[in-house]
């Protein structure tokens, strides 16, 4: 991809509006460090797999980077433009089918019977009812948290000029390959690398709940939107304002993607509403929600989806109070009526440049080990089995501890980050959760150290530590040798660990 149009970009450090793409002699290199330079502050950013990456990772991104590395490991290549187009067509046909059950049963394409088809339909009806009366032809659209771009295909097909941005170098690299008709950037929702009022439409599909800060992302999305344009979000779960992380941990306890490292969250209704309300005089807001207590809302209008409750909800005080104590799925449309003075977000110097992270991703095991070298001290030596769940443990494969707190259950693979001091070995008791033998590997700092057969009977494993001169914490990974799904389902993919000690 030739990076021709940088006219609407800005520097995420100094907010300067002049960026220069420097000629790179060695054009075969996948990562071109420092290839884009701000003409005001001379900070440099990378071009990774032909995609300019504007911005870098800081300490608050650590948990999210587990996902970046894990999804590179899962080799999620995204779907082709043709498949995305076909899926969109199928969803449209399903939406229009007079007898939905009959349509599903008799359709020749297997995709319509996949378990995820109804989730995709939920996202579809939200964006369908938002966009139904919009003419997108020639519109300049920014898709934030674009992933590999599948949701941008219908926008491109409607004649829009689409710009995609995501914070994972793997996703944007694959996206640029799958969807070359869109313009691709690596970067962050909380510090968008675009000048004020650059887009007619800003969208985020099933993306807000992956962002590290919904309020910061919304402010940036509003900033880059031109007056007269609109921003829309779809497909996000939300929870009551008075709930805490324990509700999220309960929802995700047996969630295979999250246990495998996909960094999802459930934001509070107030994260959305309280941020938008600040700009109330400049915007019109409409929510599209699917909640169980829909009867408590006033003035709603359904969108004709038989399978879901989705309805438009006017932002009346009474409705806002109901939504503050509800949970469900939410989409929103925000029309920007006038210019809003929103200072552009900026970043300090990078702790971890995106090009460095991308260079690790060729070896996933080592990438995790290197990433853990970047962990904040609070994440090292967490008590095991512990009495509380944490995001770090959840994304690293550990389910919440349960009373009497003597063991912890891992899903497929699970990790510890420990200082080993003068210890010579690590020992623990382990068993499979479902009766039957399975082979288990133990890796230390990304290198396989031992392989054993474990069963439903508890057995003691002792793993000798390789010598290390470094005082750095070490990353332990317990992993079923065969990572494919077990015939016994979720529990068949789990193992239980007790009595972990570092020993001489
Ligand atoms: Zn600058």
The predicted-structure confidence for 37-61, as pLDDT tens digits, reads as follows 999 999 988 999 889 999 999 888 8
- 338-343 long-range contacts (CB < 8 A, ≥24 apart) are 338/227, 338/282, 339/197, 339/227, 339/282, 340/222, 340/223, 340/279, 340/282, 340/283, 342/196, 342/219, 342/220, 342/222, 342/223, 342/279
- The CATH superfamily assigned to 376-503 is Galactose-binding domain-like (2.60.120.260)
Domain residue extents for the chain: 81-336, 376-503
**Cα 35 to ligand 1 centroid, rounded to whole Å:** 14
Domain 81-336 fold is Rossmann fold (3.40.50)
Q: Return the structure tokens found at 377.
A: 């001290």
Q: What are phi and psi of 30, to 5 degrees?
A: -70, -30
**Cα 1 to ligand 1 centroid, rounded to whole Å:** 24
**Cα 16 to ligand 1 centroid, rounded to whole Å:** 5
Residue pointed to by tokens 């330079």: 37
pLDDT reported for residue 361: 87
**Cα 15 to ligand 1 centroid, rounded to whole Å:** 6
**Cα 245 to ligand 1 centroid, rounded to whole Å:** 37
pLDDT reported for residue 362: 82
Q: Return the C-alpha torsion angle 262, 256, 215, 337, nearest 10.
A: 100
> Rounded to whole angstroms, how far apart are CA atoms 120 and 115?
10
Residue 385, preceding peptide bond in cis (omega within 30° of 0): yes
Residues of the chain with pLDDT under 50: 1-2
**Cα 42 to ligand 1 centroid, rounded to whole Å:** 6
Instruction: Answer whether 401's CB lies under 8 Å from 386's CB.
Output: yes
> Rounded to whole angstroms, how far apart are CA atoms 309 and 300?
11
8-state DSSP, 401: P
**Cα 56 to ligand 1 centroid, rounded to whole Å:** 13
Residues 6+ apart with CB under 8 A from 182: 143, 146, 149, 152, 156, 162, 163, 164, 175, 176
> Rounded to whole angstroms, how far apart are CA atoms 148 and 173?
8
**Cα 215 to ligand 1 centroid, rounded to whole Å:** 24
**Cα 208 to ligand 1 centroid, rounded to whole Å:** 27
**Cα 194 to ligand 1 centroid, rounded to whole Å:** 13
pLDDT reported for residue 2: 47
pLDDT reported for residue 1: 44
> Rounded to whole angstroms, how far apart are CA atoms 180 and 197?
24
**Cα 10 to ligand 1 centroid, rounded to whole Å:** 8
pLDDT reported for residue 375: 83
> Rounded to whole angstroms, how far apart are CA atoms 124 and 130?
10
> Rounded to whole angstroms, how far apart are CA atoms 498 and 386?
11
8-state DSSP, 229: E
Q: Return the structure tokens found at 106.
A: 């008799």
Q: Would you call 497 helix, strand, or coil by DSSP?
A: strand
Query: What single string gives the DSSP state of each residue in 259-324?
Result: HTT-----EEHHHHHHHHHTTGGGEEEEEEEEETTGGG-SS-EE---SSS--EEE---HHHHHHHH
Q: Return the structure tokens found at 261.
A: 């490292």
376-503 shares the fold of 81-336:
no
> Rounded to whole angstroms, how far apart are CA atoms 128 and 303?
10
**Cα 440 to ligand 1 centroid, rounded to whole Å:** 49
Give the rounded distance of the alpha carbon of 14 from its chain centre: 27
Residues 6+ apart with CB under 8 A from 41: 11, 13, 14, 16
**Cα 37 to ligand 1 centroid, rounded to whole Å:** 8
Q: Alpha-carbon torsion 109, 113, 115, 117, what sign?
A: positive
């Amino acid at each position: 991809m030739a990076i021709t149009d940088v006219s609407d970009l800005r520097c995420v450090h100094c907010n300067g509006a002049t960026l220069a793409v420097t000629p790179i002699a060695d054009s075969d290199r996948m990562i071109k460090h420092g290839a884009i330079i701000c003409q005001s502050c001379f900070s440099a950013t990378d071009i990774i797999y032909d995609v300019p990456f504007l911005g870098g990772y800081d300490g608050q991104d650590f948990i999210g980077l587990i996902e970046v590395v894990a999804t590179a490991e899962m080799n999620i290549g995204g779907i082709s433009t043709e498949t995305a187009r076909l899926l969109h067509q199928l969803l449209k046909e399903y939406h229009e089918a007079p007898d939905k059950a009959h349509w599903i049963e008799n359709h020749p394409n297997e995709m319509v019977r996949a378990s995820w088809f109804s989730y995709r339909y939920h996202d579809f009806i939200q964006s369908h009812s938002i966009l139904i009366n919009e003419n997108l032809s020639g519109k300049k659209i920014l898709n934030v948290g674009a992933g590999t771009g599948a949701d941008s295909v219908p926008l491109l097909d409607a004649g829009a000029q689409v710009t995609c941005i995501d914070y994972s170098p793997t996703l944007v690299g694959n996206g640029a390959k799958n969807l070359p008709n869109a313009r691709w950037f690596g970067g962050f929702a909380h510090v968008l690398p675009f000048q004020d009022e650059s887009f007619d439409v800003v969208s985020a599909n099933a993306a807000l709940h992956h962002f590290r800060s919904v309020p910061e992302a919304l402010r940036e999305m509003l900033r880059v939107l031109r007056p007269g344009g609109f921003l829309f979000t779809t497909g996000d779960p939300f929870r009551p304002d008075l709930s805490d992380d324990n509700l999220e941990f309960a929802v995700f306890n047996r969630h295979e993607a999250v246990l495998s490292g996909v960094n999802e969250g459930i934001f509070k209704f107030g994260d959305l509403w309280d941020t938008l309300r600040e700009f109330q005089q400049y915007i019109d807001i409409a929510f599209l929600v699917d909640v169980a207590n829909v009867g408590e809302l006033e003035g709603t209008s359904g969108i004709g989806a038989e399978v879901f409750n989705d309805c438009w909800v006017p932002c009346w005080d009474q409705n806002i109070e109901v939504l503050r104590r509800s949970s469900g799925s939410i989409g929103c449309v925000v029309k920007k009526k006038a210019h809003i003075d929103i200072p552009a977000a900026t970043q300090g110097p990078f702790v971890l440049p995106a090009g460095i992270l991308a260079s690790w991703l060729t070896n996933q095991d080592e990438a995790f080990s290197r990433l853990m070298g970047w962990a904040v001290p609070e994440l090292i030596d967490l008590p095991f089995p512990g009495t509380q769940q944490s995001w770090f443990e959840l994304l690293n494969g550990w389910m919440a501890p349960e009373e009497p707190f003597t063991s912890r259950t891992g899903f497929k693979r699970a990790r510890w980050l420990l200082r080993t001091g003068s210890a010579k070995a690590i020992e623990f008791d382990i068993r499979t959760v479902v009766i039957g033998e399975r082979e288990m590997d133990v890796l230390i700092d990304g290198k396989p150290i031992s392989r054993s057969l474990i069963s439903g009977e508890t057995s003691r494993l002792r793993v000798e530590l390789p010598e290390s001169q470094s005082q750095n914490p070490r990353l332990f990974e317990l992993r079923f040798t065969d990572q494919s799904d077990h015939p016994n389902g979720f529990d068949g993919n789990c193992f239980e660990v007790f009595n972990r000690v570092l020993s001489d």
